[in-house]
């Protein structure tokens, strides 16, 4: 348990300290070391779970099983590598005079605060606390989106705040309904929101209430996942905030929101299993529908983007749609693919945003038209962006290909006709990404474009991991995915 | 036979007291505004003076113009006859239906609006058009409020409604609370009080009711004024007797009737004072704001209806 | 049936209806300061209802929730908003919806919708507050309606906070409150959100020199 507490407490106290101490010289270094410490603690936690099995017990406030343990480690990893990038990037921003010490204090404190809410959302066993943590994540990041105080960034932050606030409020309504259903069957009401307790009684929960609750939760958490049509905040928030923020939003927040959604889907599925009142697969159908719509719409929107960060945030919507579709499809194969996709997308997308951050510093603009000839100016950034995009577009041998392949096979099994739009969507998205990417990476280098101080090793690390996952998934990870698939669908693959 | 006599007496009393109620409202208003008030009998003197005066009519006036005051007075008188005033369970209760009441009022309003246009002056037509605009908006609000009542008491008959509410005793009903508020707003709009209309002004930009009756004089004007006072009292009696029916005579003994009369006087005094306070506190609103006011009334009535369905059934 | 319930249970239902009415009043109110006052009244009504439900159900935790609601929803947030609008000098502004009458009627339709959605839920409960689940859902949706029908930041925040009131009310109505740890977490989130909203007023005013968030329209896919 001490590993668990460390995972949570390191970002919490680091955030408080950074808020208290302000922007001293060592703040960025402290931010990096705290994130690295958090990662170390999460690795320790993962090792413990690997050796001892699920942590937290029946009625504990925390619960670590094979579904969230890898997400905890992933979150801490992305948090740590992005903090390295953030140190270099934010130093450059300060040097450019865009940010003062007060904003830097806010930035660092919010960064750690955000990591804390992510870890709290992942580790907690209480669905109410999960909600509180996700709302806390909005609150921690909303002031970062408007960090530059330009009219655009303030607009983006306001939209983020209002849209996500309303969305998450609907999720709370769903949680209340869930608690209502639970209180009817669970004798100890104080524990009726604990996920483990709920899972045990899930088949006795009232199907009608659970169906209504799930709709609220889907719309609510779906807003945070970035599902169309609740996605409007996402491209704005990603494009206007500092780039490290875009990396962790895309890499972590969306994942955690989807995690919350899948947790309640498990309960809803058991409650509806009898199928007397509603279709037993109702939750799955809803998720499939939202997933396909998000996937398609985001793929089309890729083509008309002019801002490089907006481009990749639409790509995030597309991939979140794909994962939502995977979990909605159900079945061990699709679920396995979905879990893998969560991992590889998170790694790849944060790597891309790191490269994008450096690219926009080189070109001094975020407009796609202004970014040209990256490979000539700074080959590391150019190649990083190129390979990252190749990976995210689903080329073999990267992990994204593997997960998309698994997902397509699963679709072929259950709904063969759906593979056609999925493949078409992947093609459209591929075209959308590369028509913009090609001139940025290759094109002619503008006069006077200079290389910048870049820390590219997070990109390398992430892409190597993605490559590794594409070539061979380590046994322990495959076992976790499999156990999680058993948890989510009732059947395993291995 | 005795019952019929009683009903007749009740109606006469009602008609006779209507100017007094208007005078009471005016007196409280004067007190609140630190003015010396006219005597309580002043409306009677006004009516007597108007009745004794000669009628002057425009040359273009049609027979409709002459008939209208009598139709209005007749319809309002009939409406007064069906409202339970001091006692319930009178023989008139058989037609004491809210929808009948609304019918009498719209009949009177219809003829008044026609008469306003009849002579062909600009003010008359303007007043008619405004009156009908307000009526078109007030009627749905009134009907929804009435439906709420009807759903609570399972009847639109006023006597039955009052009996039902008496039988249930003191129950906090959100639906009735909102229906009461909605009906009060409708009443204010229908009887032309502040903030919708000001009965004491002849300012051409704002007047509604006064614009329509501008061409009337003598006994015709007296009848129309009297009918307006009766209408105000009908709304007052409806509000106090439906929502606070306690004290009304349920059988025809002398003591019950005496208590009923005393209680209804007291309730009307309180209501009149409240109306006066409201009229002193509020400013008359611009005509263009009146629809919003009536939509508020409709919303209140709808909330009443909805809260009956949501909260009180099942 | 209503007339067989004790008086304080009738009072719970009446107060619930009044909470719904304050939601409508918020929808209709266009001036800023009265709007904040109505919002404070809504918070107070919700808190009183919570207190009565606590008395009815004998759950002592709910007294704490009620106290929290008074402090946060009826006093602190309205006070904060009031102070902000005075300091920003917009306390005499009109922040109305474009078509108030239409908005009110849509609101009434939303209530009917909530009734249909909540009916199967309330059938499962035996508590006196079961019928107020629909009301609380209506308060949530009416808050949302207020958010979308207003173009001014202050009105949107009031709508958002009124939506939060509805959520709190839902928890009280459906389940007699959430577990204490969740309740405290939610209250903390609301508190932080209120403060951040305050910060945002200044940011928005600094960036577009008004609080008319309809002018925040640079980031949109349509005009590209």
The minimal CB distance from C186 to the residues A132, A180, A183 is found for A132
CB contact under 8 A, C132 and B311: yes
For A346-415, the DSSP string reads: HHHHHHHHHHHHHHHHHHT--BGGG---HHHH-HHHHHHHHHHHHHHTT-TTSHHHHHHHHHHHHHHHH-
Tell how far CA C129 is from the center of its chain: 18
**pLDDT at res. A191:** 87
C216 touches chain A (CB under 8 A): yes
Cα three-residue angle A487-A488-A489, rounded to 5 degrees: 100
**pLDDT at res. A176:** 93
**Contact, B223 vs B73, CB < 8 A?**
yes
CB contact under 8 A, C219 and A154: no
**Contact, A238 vs A246, CB < 8 A?**
yes
Residue A43 has pLDDT above 90, yes or no: yes
* A 388-447 → C contacts, CB under 8 A: none
Residue range of the domain that includes C186: 7-215
Using CA atoms, how far apart are residues C133 and C129, in angstroms rounded to an integer?
7
What's the gap in Å between the CA of A444 and the closest CA on chain C?
A: 25
Smallest CA–CA distance from B314 into chain C, residue: C1
| Tokens encoding A188 | 């100890």
What's the gap in Å between the CA of A86 and the closest CA on chain C?
A: 24
**Contact, C128 vs C12, CB < 8 A?**
yes
C145 assigned to some structural domain: yes
**pLDDT at res. A158:** 92
C148 touches chain A (CB under 8 A): no
**pLDDT at res. C78:** 95
C41 assigned to some structural domain: yes
Residue C95 has pLDDT above 80, yes or no: no
pLDDT tens column, A9-39: 999 999 999 998 877 778 889 999 999 999 9
| Tokens encoding B72 | 């209005």
CB atoms within 10 A of CB B221: 20
* A 156-195 → C contacts, CB under 8 A: 156-159, 161-162, 165-166, 169-170, 172-173, 176-177, 179-180, 183-184, 189-193
The minimal CB distance from B174 to the residues C1, C14, C101 is found for C14
What's the gap in Å between the CA of B98 and the closest CA on chain C?
A: 24
Confidence bin at C30 (pLDDT 50/70/90): confident
Verdict on whether the full-model pTM lies above 0.80 = yes
CB contact under 8 A, B173 and C14: yes
pLDDT tens column, C51-93: 999 998 888 889 999 999 999 999 999 999 999 989 888 877 7
The minimal CB distance from B296 to the residues C28, C115, C134 is found for C28
**What percent of chain A stands above pLDDT 90?**
73
Using CA atoms, how far apart are residues B215 and C2, in angstroms rounded to an integer?
53
Question: How many structural domains is chain C composed of?
Answer: 1
CB contact under 8 A, B311 and C101: no
Exposed (0-12), middle (13-18) or buried (19+): which is A2, by Cβ within 10 Å?
exposed
CB contact under 8 A, B307 and C17: yes
Using CA atoms, how far apart are residues A253 and A477, in angstroms rounded to an integer?
21
C1 assigned to some structural domain: no
Which has the closest alpha carbon to A73: A196, A255, A226? Answer: A255
What's the gap in Å between the CA of C138 and the closest CA on chain B?
A: 11
The string over A41-66, giving b where at least 16 C-beta atoms fall within 10 Å of a residue's C-beta and e elsewhere, is bbbbbbebbeeeebbbeeebebbbbb
A420-429: long-range contacts, CB 8 A cutoff, minimum separation 24: A421/A292, A421/A296, A422/A292, A422/A295, A422/A325, A425/A295, A425/A296, A425/A299, A425/A318, A426/A299, A426/A394, A428/A296, A428/A299, A428/A300, A428/A302, A428/A303, A429/A298, A429/A299, A429/A302, A429/A315, A429/A318, A429/A393
The structure tokens 């994130």 sit at: A35
What's the gap in Å between the CA of B181 and the closest CA on chain C?
A: 12
Using CA atoms, how far apart are residues C203 and A240, in angstroms rounded to an integer?
15
**Helices A399-414 + A379-392 axis angle, to 10:** 10
Q: How far is CA B64 from CA A45, B56, C138, in A?
A: 94, 15, 51
What's the gap in Å between the CA of A238 and the closest CA on chain C?
A: 12
Confidence bin at C221 (pLDDT 50/70/90): low
Residue A409 has pLDDT above 90, yes or no: yes
**pLDDT at res. A115:** 96
Q: In terms of pLDDT, which residue wins out, C77 or C213? A: C77
**pLDDT at res. B1:** 60
- Residues in B touching C20 (Cβ below 8 Å): 303, 307
Residue C222 has pLDDT above 60, yes or no: no
**pLDDT at res. B141:** 92
The string over C106-122, giving b where at least 16 C-beta atoms fall within 10 Å of a residue's C-beta and e elsewhere, is bbbebbeebbebbeebb
Confidence bin at A120 (pLDDT 50/70/90): very high
- Residues in A touching C213 (Cβ below 8 Å): 158
CB contact under 8 A, C203 and A149: yes
What's the gap in Å between the CA of B54 and the closest CA on chain C?
A: 47
SS3 B249: strand
Using CA atoms, how far apart are residues A398 and B258, in angstroms rounded to an integer?
96
Q: How far is CA C69 from CA A95, B161, C42, C49, C129, in A?
A: 46, 39, 10, 10, 18
- Mean pLDDT, consecutive 10-residue stretches, chain B (314 aa), reads 83 92 93 90 93 90 93 94 85 84 92 91 89 90 90 88 86 90 92 82 77 89 94 93 88 86 93 92 84 88 91 77
The structure tokens 């067989």 sit at: C4
- Residues in C touching B171 (Cβ below 8 Å): 2-3, 10
Cis peptide before B13 (omega within 30 of 0): no
Q: What are phi and psi of A215, to 5 degrees?
A: -60, -45
Residue A449 has pLDDT above 90, yes or no: no
What's the gap in Å between the CA of B174 and the closest CA on chain C?
A: 5
Alpha helix positions (H), chain C: 7-28, 32-57, 61-69, 77-88, 100-122, 132-149, 153-175, 180-208
Confidence bin at C109 (pLDDT 50/70/90): very high
Using CA atoms, how far apart are residues A340 and A349, in angstroms rounded to an integer?
14
Using CA atoms, how far apart are residues C144 and C140, in angstroms rounded to an integer?
6
Using CA atoms, how far apart are residues A252 and A318, in angstroms rounded to an integer?
15
Using CA atoms, how far apart are residues B210 and B124, in angstroms rounded to an integer?
9
Ranking A153-157, B71-75, C217-221 by mean pLDDT, the lowest is C217-221
**pLDDT at res. C61:** 86
Interface probe for C, chosen from A172, A195, A214 (most Cβ of C below 10 Å), is: A172
Q: How far is CA A471 from CA A291, A390, A398, A401, in A?
A: 27, 16, 7, 10
Using CA atoms, how far apart are residues C224 and C218, in angstroms rounded to an integer?
10
| Tokens encoding A250 | 């895309």
Subunits with 3+ Cβ pairs within 8 Å of B are: C
SS3 A473: coil
**Contact, C23 vs C39, CB < 8 A?**
no
Q: In terms of pLDDT, which residue wins out, C8 or A316? A: A316
CB contact under 8 A, B300 and C21: yes
A148 touches chain C (CB under 8 A): no
Tell me how many residue pairs between chain B and chain C have CB atoms under 8 A apart: 73
**HSE toward the beta carbon, residue A1, CA cutoff 13 A:** 7
Domain boundary assignment for chain B: 2-312
* A 26-85 → C contacts, CB under 8 A: 61
Question: With touching defined as 3+ CB pairs under 8 A, do chains A and B touch?
Answer: no
**Contact, B237 vs B73, CB < 8 A?**
no
Smallest CA–CA distance from B309 into chain C, residue: C115
Using CA atoms, how far apart are residues A167 and A171, in angstroms rounded to an integer?
7
For A138-170, the DSSP string reads: HHHHHHHHTTT--HHHHHHHHHHHHHHHHHHHH
The minimal CB distance from C181 to the residues A126, A154, A180 is found for A126
- Residues in C touching A189 (Cβ below 8 Å): 175, 179
Using CA atoms, how far apart are residues C175 and C169, in angstroms rounded to an integer?
10
Smallest CA–CA distance from A150 into chain C, residue: C207
Q: Phi-psi bin for A448: left (phi > 0), alpha (psi -120 to 50), beta?
A: left
| Tokens encoding B180 | 């009461």
Give Cβ neighbours of residue C220 (< 8 Å, ≥ 6 apart). Answer: none
H or E, element range at A86:
helix A66-95
Alpha helix positions (H), A96-206: 101-123, 127-145, 151-185, 195-201
CB contact under 8 A, C28 and B169: no
Which has the closest alpha carbon to C46: C67, C76, C29? Answer: C67
Smallest CA–CA distance from C129 into chain B, residue: B311
C51 assigned to some structural domain: yes
CB contact under 8 A, C153 and A132: no
Smallest CA–CA distance from A300 into chain C, residue: C221
**pLDDT at res. B286:** 82
- Residues in A touching C153 (Cβ below 8 Å): 158
CB contact under 8 A, C112 and B306: yes
Using CA atoms, how far apart are residues A372 and A449, in angstroms rounded to an integer?
9
For C77-91, the DSSP string reads: HHHHHHHHHHHHT-T
Tell how far CA C196 is from the center of its chain: 18
* A 211-230 → C contacts, CB under 8 A: 212
What are the helix and strand counts (H, E) for chain B?
A: 11, 0
**Contact, A106 vs A143, CB < 8 A?**
yes
* Alpha-carbon radius of gyration of chain A: 21
**Contact, A283 vs A265, CB < 8 A?**
yes
CB contact under 8 A, B307 and C20: yes
CB contact under 8 A, B168 and C14: no
**pLDDT at res. C224:** 44
**pLDDT at res. A490:** 85
Using CA atoms, how far apart are residues B108 and B68, in angstroms rounded to an integer?
8
The minimal CB distance from C178 to the residues A128, A139, A150 is found for A128
The string over B282-314, giving b where at least 16 C-beta atoms fall within 10 Å of a residue's C-beta and e elsewhere, is eebeebeebebbbbbbbbbbbbbbbbbbbbbee
Tell how far CA B197 is from the center of its chain: 14
C158 touches chain A (CB under 8 A): no
What's the gap in Å between the CA of C167 and the closest CA on chain A?
A: 6
| Tokens encoding C182 | 């969740």
Residues of B with CB under 8 A from a CB of C: 168-175, 177-178, 291-292, 295-296, 299-300, 302-303, 306-307, 309-312, 314
Subunits with 3+ Cβ pairs within 8 Å of A are: C
């Amino acid at each position: 348990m001490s590993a668990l507490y460390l995972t949570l407490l390191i970002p919490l106290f680091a955030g408080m300290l950074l808020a208290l101490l302000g922007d001293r010289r060592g703040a960025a270094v402290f931010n990096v070391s705290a994130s690295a410490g958090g990662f170390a603690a999460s690795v320790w936690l993962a090792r413990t779970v690997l050796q001892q099995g699920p942590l937290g017990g029946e009625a504990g406030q925390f619960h670590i099983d094979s579904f969230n343990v890898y997400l905890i480690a992933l979150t801490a990893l992305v948090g740590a590598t992005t903090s390295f990038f953030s140190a270099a990037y934010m130093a450059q921003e300060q040097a450019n005079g865009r940010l003062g010490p007060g904003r830097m204090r806010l930035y660092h404190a919010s960064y750690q605060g955000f990591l804390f809410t992510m870890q709290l959302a992942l580790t907690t066993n209480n669905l109410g606390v999960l909600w509180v943590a996700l709302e806390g994540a909005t609150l921690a990041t909303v002031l970062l989106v408007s960090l530059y105080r330009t009219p655009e960034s303030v607009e983006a932050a306001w939209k983020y705040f209002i849209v996500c606030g309303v969305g998450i409020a609907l999720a709370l309504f769903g949680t209340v309904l869930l608690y209502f259903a639970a209180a009817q069957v669970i004798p100890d009401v104080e524990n009726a929101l604990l996920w483990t307790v709920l899972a045990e009684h899930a088949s006795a929960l009232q199907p009608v209430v659970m169906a209504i609750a799930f709709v609220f939760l889907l719309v609510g958490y779906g807003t945070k996942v970035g599902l169309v049509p609740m996605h409007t905040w996402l491209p704005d928030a990603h494009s206007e905030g500092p780039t490290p923020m875009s990396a962790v939003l895309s890499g972590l927040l969306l994942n955690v929101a989807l995690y919350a959604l899948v947790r309640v889907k498990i309960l809803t599925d058991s409650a509806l299993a009898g199928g007397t009142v509603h279709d037993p697969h109702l939750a799955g159908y809803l998720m499939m529908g939202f997933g396909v719509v998000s996937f398609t719409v985001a793929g089309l929107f890729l083509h008309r983007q002019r801002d490089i960060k907006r481009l990749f945030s639409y790509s995030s919507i597309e991939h979140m749609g794909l994962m939502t579709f995977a979990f909605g499809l159900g079945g061990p194969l699709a679920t396995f693919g979905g879990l893998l996709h969560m991992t590889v997308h998170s790694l790849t997308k944060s790597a891309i945003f790191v490269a994008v951050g450096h690219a926009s510093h080189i070109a001094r603009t975020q407009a796609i038209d202004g970014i040209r000839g990256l490979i000539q100016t700074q080959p590391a950034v150019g190649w990083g962006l190129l390979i990252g995009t190749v990976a995210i577009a689903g080329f073999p041998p990267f992990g994204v290909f593997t997960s998309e392949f698994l997902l397509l096979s699963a679709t072929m099994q259950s709904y063969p006709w759906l593979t056609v739009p999925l493949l078409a969507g992947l093609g459209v998205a591929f075209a959308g990404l590369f028509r913009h990417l090609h001139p940025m990476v290759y094109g002619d280098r503008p006069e006077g474009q200079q290389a910048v101080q870049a820390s590219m090793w997070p990109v390398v690390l992430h892409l190597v991991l993605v490559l590794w996952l594409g070539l061979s998934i380590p046994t322990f990870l495959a076992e976790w995915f499999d156990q999680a698939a058993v948890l989510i669908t009732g059947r395993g693959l291995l | 036979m005795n019952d019929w006599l009683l009903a007749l007496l009740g109606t006469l009393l009602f008609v006779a007291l209507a100017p007094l109620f208007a005078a009471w409202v005016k007196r409280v208003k004067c007190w609140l505004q630190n003015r010396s008030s006219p005597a309580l009998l002043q409306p009677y003197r006004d009516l007597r003076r108007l009745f004794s005066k000669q009628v002057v009519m425009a040359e273009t006036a049609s027979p409709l113009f002459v008939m209208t005051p009598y139709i209005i007075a007749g319809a309002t008188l009939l409406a007064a006859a069906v409202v339970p005033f001091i006692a319930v369970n009178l023989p008139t209760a058989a037609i004491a239906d809210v929808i009948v009441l609304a019918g009498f009022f719209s009949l009177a309003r219809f003829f008044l609006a026609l008469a306003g246009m009849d002579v062909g002056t600009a003010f008359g037509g303007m007043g008619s058009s405004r009156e009908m605009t307000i009526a078109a908006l007030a009627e749905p609000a009134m009907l929804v409020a009435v439906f709420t009542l009807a759903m609570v008491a399972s009847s639109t008959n006023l006597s039955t409604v009052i009996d039902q509410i008496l039988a249930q005793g003191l129950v906090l009903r959100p639906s009735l609370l909102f229906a009461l508020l909605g009906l009060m707003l409708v009443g204010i709009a229908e009887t032309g009080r502040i903030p919708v209309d000001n009965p004491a002004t002849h300012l051409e930009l704002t007047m509604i009711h006064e614009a329509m009756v501008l061409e009337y004089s003598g006994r015709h004007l007296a009848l129309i004024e009297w009918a307006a006072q009766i209408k105000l009292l009908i709304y007052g009696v409806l509000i106090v007797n439906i929502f606070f029916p306690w004290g009304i005579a349920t059988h025809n003994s002398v003591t019950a009737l005496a208590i009923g009369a005393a209680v209804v006087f007291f309730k009307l005094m309180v209501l009149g004072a409240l109306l006066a306070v409201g009229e002193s506190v509020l400013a008359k609103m611009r005509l263009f704001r009146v629809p919003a006011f009536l939509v508020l009334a409709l919303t209140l009535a709808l909330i009443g209806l909805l809260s009956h369905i949501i909260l009180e059934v099942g | 049936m209503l007339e067989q319930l004790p008086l304080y249970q009738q009072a719970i239902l009446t107060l619930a209806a009044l909470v719904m009415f304050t939601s409508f009043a918020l929808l209709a109110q266009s001036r800023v300061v009265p709007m904040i006052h109505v919002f404070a009244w809504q918070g107070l009504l919700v808190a009183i209802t919570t207190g009565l439900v606590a008395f009815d159900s004998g759950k002592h935790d709910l007294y704490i929730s009620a106290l929290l609601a008074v402090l946060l929803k009826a006093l602190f947030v309205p006070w904060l908003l009031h102070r902000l609008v005075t300091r920003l000098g917009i306390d005499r502004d009109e922040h109305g919806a474009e078509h108030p009458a239409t908005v009110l009627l849509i609101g009434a339709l939303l209530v009917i919708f909530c009734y249909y959605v909540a009916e199967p839920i309330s059938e499962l409960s035996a508590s006196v507050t079961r019928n107020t689940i629909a009301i609380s859902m209506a308060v949530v949706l009416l808050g949302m309606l207020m958010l979308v029908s207003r173009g001014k930041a202050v009105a949107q925040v009031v709508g958002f906070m009124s939506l939060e009131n509805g959520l709190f009310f839902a928890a009280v109505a459906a389940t007699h409150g959430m577990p204490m740890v969740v309740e405290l977490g939610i209250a903390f989130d609301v508190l932080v959100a209120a403060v951040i909203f305050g910060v945002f007023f200044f940011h928005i005013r600094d960036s577009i020199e008004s609080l008319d968030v309809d002018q925040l329209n640079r980031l949109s896919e349509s005009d590209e």
